[in-house]
Every structure is written in C-alpha cells, then in structure tokens.
A and B are shown apart, each in its own frame.
Chain A
Amino acid sequence: MEVAHARGGERVSAVLRGFHGGVRVPRSKEALQGAGSRSAALPPLLIYPLQAHVGTPARPVVDVGRKVCRGELLAVPSSYVSQAIHAGTSGIIVEIAERAVIHPGGITDTCIVLQADGEDRRLEPAPPLDLGRATPEALLARIAEAGIVGMGGAGFPSHVKLCEGLSNAVRLLIINAVECEPYIACDDCMIRERAADVVLGARILMQALAASQCVIALEDDMQLAWDALSSCDLAGAQIVRVPAIYPAGGEKQLIRMITGAEVPAHGLPIDAGVVMHNAATAAAVADAVVRGLPMTERLLTVAGAVRTPANLRVRIGTPIAHLLDGCGRSAADARVIAGGPMMGTRLIDESVPVVKTTNCVLRLPAGSEQPAVPCIRCGDCVEVCPAQLQPQALYEVARAGDWDGVRELHLFDCIECGACAYVCPSRLPLVHYYRHAKSEIEALELEQRRAAELRSRYDARLRRLAQAGGAAAGLEGQVEPDAGEGPAPAPAPDRATMQAEIAAAIARAKARRAAYTPPAAGGDGDGTR
C-alpha cells in the first residue's frame, strides 16, 4: 500500500481504505507477469458481433463483397450508447449473418465476417489531434470514432462515460490496472511495454473530462509495471498499489479504496465523483488521439491448459479456437473460458471471436466436480461478499422464487464477482441463482412496463375517440383525464396490434426465462421507442 507522488488532494488521500470481504485466490500468473507480449498469427476469418458492448448494436455500413483495409469502418454507432467497429486487417466482407458469440447460453448474434487477404494493408491513419488545443468535445469525438469501449469490464462505450463525467463535473479519473482475476496478466504486460502510452492516455482522458486529479491503481505484486510507470513523467498523476485481494479491481471496490466514498446503490461512479477507465483503454485512447488509430487490436492472456501461455497481441475478431491452436492445447478435456476464472464466460463453442472486452482466454482442466449440497449457513459467503450482502439468504429466496425477498436483500447490488461461490463449502452455484433471479425480475418488470404503456395508450385512444364526437357515444364518464401521463400522440394501435404486442411481450418474457439472460440482438426493445 504505497502511494507515489501523493499530493494530499481534495479527494485522494495517501491512505488506502479497505473494502469489505474479498478473498485471496491463487494468482496463477507469476510467469506471465515477467513475460513480454507477442503477436498472434493473423486468422483467415475475423468475426465482428454488432453487439459486443453495453448499449444498442452497431449498424453495419459495409455490404457483402466489399473490400476493406485495416482500420476501415465496418459499422457505426446506432445511438448515443453504441460503438463503431473497424476492420482488423485488409480483406473482403464475406458474410453478415448470425454467428455464435461469447455468451453463457451460447446464443448467436449478427456478425460481420471479414476474410483476410493476407496483405494486411492499413488505411491511412487519421491526423493526430493537437493536444495543446484540442477541446474536450474534439477528444470525445475522436474517441467515439475510434470505437473505444471499456476494455476491462462490460464494454461500456468510453466516450459516453467521459461525456457523462464531463457534464457532471467529475474531478477524479482513476486508471484501473488492478487485474484481480487469477491468470490474467495482459494489463500488467501492456503497462510494462507501453507505460508512456498509458500515462499519455490518462492525460488525454483527464483533458477530455476536464478532471483535476488522476490516480493509476496497480496491485501490489505488479512490481515491474510499477517500475515502468514510475519512470515516466506522471505530470501529477498518482500511482497507488492496492492489495492483491479479489475483487480489488472491481469498480465499486477500487473507488471505495481510493476515495473512501461509495458508489450509491443503483448509481454510477460519477455519483461518487469518479470516472474510471481501464489501463488498456487509456493506451487505446492515446493510439486514437495522437496516432489516429482506431481500436482493432488488443492484448490478452492465453493461459491454463495450453502449451505456451502468453500475453498475445490479438486482432479484435479473431476466433478463440485460432488462438488456442496457436498456443497448443495441453489437456484434452478442458473448459474454455473467455475472461477470468472468477467472472468469465464458459464457452460452448470455441469458434466465437475475441471482442474488445476479452482480456483472457483460459483453458481450465476439467476437475472432479463435487455435487452441491445444502447450505449449512457457515457464513463464509457473508465474510467475503464485497457488496456486504447476505449471499446465503439471497440464495434461499432466489431459489424459492421469492422476488420480493430478493429485492429486500438488495440482489441488484450484487456485482456477480463470485467470491461467495468460490468459498462455499456446499459448492452451491450461487452466482447462477442470482443471475437467474435478476433476469426473471427484469423480464417481469419489462412486462409490467409494457402493460402500463399499453394501458395508457388505450386510455389515450379512448380519450381521442371521446373528443372526436364520443360524447354521443357516452364514453366520457369512463375515461379519467390524466393527460400528463400517457405518451404524446402515438400512432393509435388498434386492438389487433395491441394483442400482437402483448403476445410478443409474453413470448419475449418466455424466451428470456428459457435462456436465463436476455437475447443480446436488436430484435428487442423497439416497442418502447
């Protein structure tokens, strides 16, 4: 717990606070924390899911048969919260179709498929921005154009985070290089090799946010990365080292450790006065702003049951099977996981592509899995839960389908870190139950919202009918005058349309129940617009 260049700022003190719970998981990454990166071989096919981020799916701007160069735009954001996608190499678009994507249920999504021509020609980079004169707006636009999404977590479009931070006058930027998941060492490697870019990216992000303070957070076992950062001109940024306790790199946990403040329930980090970006995102921002390069590549760790574990520079869109072929599979029977062993997604199909958030491809040898037995209320989960929840009580109510009880126990504050299930002596798949309960409740709430909307539309229609001479028909008395509530004059749906919508809503809810997680594709959500 050291703090370099501490300045006693208004929010950041030299003393790190703890966060509740957490668990020490074997790190399994010591070898990769000293190793350099190497480039993965270019795959014959690159696959780009349109929905590989939080928000609405991207909109393709290329057609099948189109020849593209590396860096050329393939898809543009479809809304404020969306992302641009760029070609990772030169080649020809061969397909825009449903393909398997990284998803626990193994669902498919619309993907743009690019066949590499092997020449790897690159589009002329965009002109660099002059940092001395660039406004936050110009920086935000460039970051959005480069298709940068958070590379450490759920893939939230970076420009949206920055824009919200800017409009909320956030003062503190935190660069998160706390790789608390076992096995993963790609951020560590990236910092060792590109420390100056991380610092530069942090400076650009501060400028885009108009933030006054920056903290770069590492884990205390990342000595070489710390050395590399310390040798850079930090220009006022602080480096802090946090204990290597899982999940210290969780957004809420890191904010609590650095600022002492908590992100309010149902709130965002900006509500705690913080914008947090991953270290790899910061380097990608430097690439975009001063080199004019869109995000087409990332560093990721391939580890576990492979012959040569490595930190690989991988083109976004590379099929995971291609990476495993390159590294060599060392155990026949293994589970393949995209992401870390604590929060990653177990893959059903190895042909799914690397997306911008994929920080690890892990092959875990299939162990002897012990069956789950009933909870003995030992309370180990309570001890480790970083959200200070009651995992054992949540499990009981979630299993019983008691959705009110689930809400009362604050299920939606659960960050699904898996610390509870990791320590559970009864081997209960606790996170599975929480995710199931969350998706059930979300489906229910969606149904309720749709029903309420249909109801208000129906009322509005009755009012219109009444106004258009319905007085004679005697409809007035039945309609309550609540003009402020219903949506503004919407196209009046007739009864058949409404029945179709209700049927569709029920079908969607059923589909969600069956799949446990909502279908990620764009077929959903049009009814609310």
Chain B
Amino acid sequence: MQRDAETVISSPHIHSGASVGGVMRRVLMALLPGVIVSVWFLGPGVLLQIAIATLAALAAEAAMLSVRGLAMRPFLFDGTAAVAGVLLGLAMPPLAPWWLGTLAAVFAMVVVKHAYGGVGHNLFNPAMAGYALLLVCFPFAMKAWPVPGAAVWTADVLGAVFPVDGSRVDAVSGATALSFVRDGLQGMKMLSELRPAEAAGLAAGGAAWVNAAFLGGGLVLLAAGVIRWQIPAGFLAGLIAVSLLLHLGDAQRHASPLFHLMNGATMLGAFFIATDPVSSPVTPRGRLVFGLLAGAVVVLIRRFGQYPDGVAFAVLLMNAAAPLIDRYTRPRVYGERDGR
C-alpha cells in the first residue's frame, strides 16, 4: 500500500510533451538561416569556429558531468551545451586560431555553467562569458575578421584557424564596419567622412544580411512560442532609443539607429543571446526591463567602448541584474491587493 516518499504521484498526470531538449533543438534550427548567411559572407571559417566551440563545449560538459557524478543521458544531449557552443562559435572571428574557441568553450562550461551548479543554475550566459574572457585576454587575436571584400572562400582559412606560425592571421584580417566607424569617430573623424567606406564595408561584409537572417530565425522562434516578445522587443527598443537620442543630438558624431540595427550581433543578441532563459528574468515586465537596458548598453559600449561589439558585455551586465529585476517586477497575485 505505502509508496516510498520519492515516488511522485501528485497531479497532473498528463504532460504537454515539452522538454528542454525540444526547446534547444528549436533554437538550433532557428539559428540555421543566420549561420548559412554568415558562411556565405564570411566564409567557411564560420563553420570551423562553430564546430570547434561546439565540440569543445560538449567535451567539457561531458567531463564535468562525469566529475560531478551526474547522469550523461538527460544532460549531455539536452542541447544546452550545443546551443552555448554554436552561439560562441558565431561570436568568434572566423579566422581566429582554434585554441581561442576551445578555451572559451571550456571556460563557459566548466567555470560559468558547472561551477555554478550546471544547467539552470548559471548566473551568466556561458557563451557570452567565454567570449568576454577572450575579448579581455586576447584583444588582437579577437580582431581576426576577414577583410571586407576579400575573397573569403579562397583565403587560407585552415592556415589561419590551425596556424603553424602566427603571422598568417594578420594578412587576411581587417576591421568590421562596427569597429571601423567606432575607431573613426573616436579618432575625431566625422560620420560623413566615414560613410563611403562604411557603405562599401557593409555590402562586402554582409552584416545587414546576416542580421536580417538572424531576425528571420528569431521571429520563427517567437512564433513557435520558444521565446517571448519582451526581451527582443525591449532589446531593439533600447538600442534604437539610445542611438536615436545620440544621433539626434549630433548626427556627425553618432551613427544612426539603422546602422546599429544592421551591424554587429544586434539581431543574434536580441533574439538568441539575451533570451537565454536561465540567465534572464522570468517575469514579463522584468524581461522588458532587461531587454531595454541591455539594448541601451550595447549602443553605449559600441560608441564609447574599446571592443568590437557591445552585445556580450551588455548581456553579461544585465545577467547580473536579472535576479534583482525579477524581484521588483513580480506581477500582482490573483486576489491580492498589493503588487508584490
């Protein structure tokens, strides 16, 4: 008659069929258009970086599960490590040497994810924390983006990613439009001077197309109910609001909102990175606040910072604030008068 206390017999007795693996698989599928367009414009280096980061993330995850004595089956292929690996690979410069992506992936899994307790418990977005580590430690290697207009398919990608000596990287790498404009503006140039070169870089680098592809994938994710609208909408609204304010204040010193929307990791960040559920707030209002602030910080870092893009640091900063945001944005409970 008596069941052991661990046997759960509580209702409900049926389930919708949703699973963590299912959620992550749909995220990976929604990333595909962006990955394909990135490969088109930036060459096979993108695929190499994704493969390196994903394999390293899975290996590190398996090692940590083994060290912590956890079951492999439910966790290793739940897709969380794979998503972190793919996002990290997409963030990497396509021509960066292999050990950079590997180091970041291992750091992301071992320190950022498992040291905090594994899936569901990490305070920070693992992929972005790994990427930030590289930005801080290896700023020059992290600028290994293909020269806009260069024949990315004929370049010695393998030589750059798996270098015998370090010299080849500099030969093919150059600045992205984002870095080019930021460096120019910080070098006291005016936007009108930079515009022709920027436009050329834009067409060759395909940043607008890449962003459009991630936007498309993100909208699919939204329609499928995997993510909610609050974070992407907040992120883009925050980004537009701050860039518009700056641009209206002085159009010669600050790029337009459109420039920010079409460059860098804007759409990837809005739909795939900032929406990482574990490290973002849960309440609907909290997610809106989180997105707004993250989007605003992206513009500030891009304009006044020293990094190629601002998405990683903006998201990490807001990750730290997520528990606080959650606490102060709890909705009113049915039948309760107060808002707590």
- What is the total number of residues of chain A having a CB less than 8 Å from a CB of chain B? 66
B188 interface residue per 8 A CB criterion: no
A460 interface residue per 8 A CB criterion: no
- Contacts A377-B277, A413-B334 given: A431-B20 contact, CB under 8 Å? no
Q: Are A341 and B10 in contact (CB under 8 A)?
A: no
- Contacts A344-B11, A377-B278, A514-B5 given: A422-B16 contact, CB under 8 Å? yes
Q: Are A380 and B18 in contact (CB under 8 A)?
A: yes
A345 interface residue per 8 A CB criterion: yes
B75 interface residue per 8 A CB criterion: yes
Q: Are A376 and B22 in contact (CB under 8 A)?
A: no
Please give the distance in Å from A255's CB to the nearest CB on chain B: 10
Within the complex, which residue of A23, A342, A379, A427 is in contact with B11, where a contact is CB–CB below 8 Å? A342
Q: A123-131, A232-240, A384-392: which lies at the B interface?
A: A384-392
Residues of the B chain whose Cβ atoms lie less than 8 Å from the Cβ of A342: 11-14
- Contacts A345-B11, A373-B74, A435-B10 given: A264-B335 contact, CB under 8 Å? yes
Q: Are B14 and A432 in contact (CB under 8 A)?
A: no
- Contacts A376-B277, A427-B19, A516-B5 given: A364-B14 contact, CB under 8 Å? yes
Query: Which residues 140-154 in B have Cβ within 8 Å of A in the complex?
Result: none
Within the complex, which residue of A20, A343, A393, A432 is in contact with B282, where a contact is CB–CB below 8 Å? A393
A292 interface residue per 8 A CB criterion: no
Q: Are A432 and B10 in contact (CB under 8 A)?
A: yes
Please give the distance in Å from B137's CB to the nearest CB on chain A: 29
Residues of the A chain whose Cβ atoms lie less than 8 Å from the Cβ of B18: 380, 423-425
Residues of the A chain whose Cβ atoms lie less than 8 Å from the Cβ of B75: 373
Instruction: Report whether over half of chain B's contact residues are helix, strand or loop; otherwise say mixed.
Output: loop
B9 interface residue per 8 A CB criterion: yes
Please give the distance in Å from A486's CB to the nearest CB on chain B: 33
Q: Are A346 and B119 in contact (CB under 8 A)?
A: no
Report Cα–Cα, A516/B283, bound state, in Å. Answer: 30
Report Cα–Cα, A424/B278, bound state, in Å. Answer: 14
Please give the distance in Å from A518's CB to the nearest CB on chain B: 16
Q: Are A341 and B12 in contact (CB under 8 A)?
A: yes
Q: Are A427 and B333 in contact (CB under 8 A)?
A: no
Q: Are A425 and B14 in contact (CB under 8 A)?
A: no
Q: Which residue of A lies closest to B230 (CB)?
A: A379
Q: Which residue of B lies closest to A374 (CB)?
A: B120
Q: Produce 1/0 per residue, B252-272, CB < 8 A to A.
A: 000000000000000000000
Task: A343-B11, A432-B8 given; name 11 further pairs at CB < 8 Å.
Answer: A104-B10, A105-B2, A182-B14, A264-B337, A341-B12, A344-B11, A375-B120, A376-B23, A377-B280, A387-B333, A390-B330
Q: Mark B residues whose CB is within 8 Å of A.
A: 1-3, 5, 8-16, 18-20, 22-23, 71, 74-75, 78, 80, 117-121, 228, 277-278, 280, 282-284, 287, 326, 330-337, 340
Q: List 13 A-B contacts (CB under 8 A).
A: A256-B334, A265-B333, A346-B9, A364-B14, A373-B78, A379-B287, A388-B331, A392-B282, A393-B326, A408-B340, A416-B11, A424-B18, A431-B11
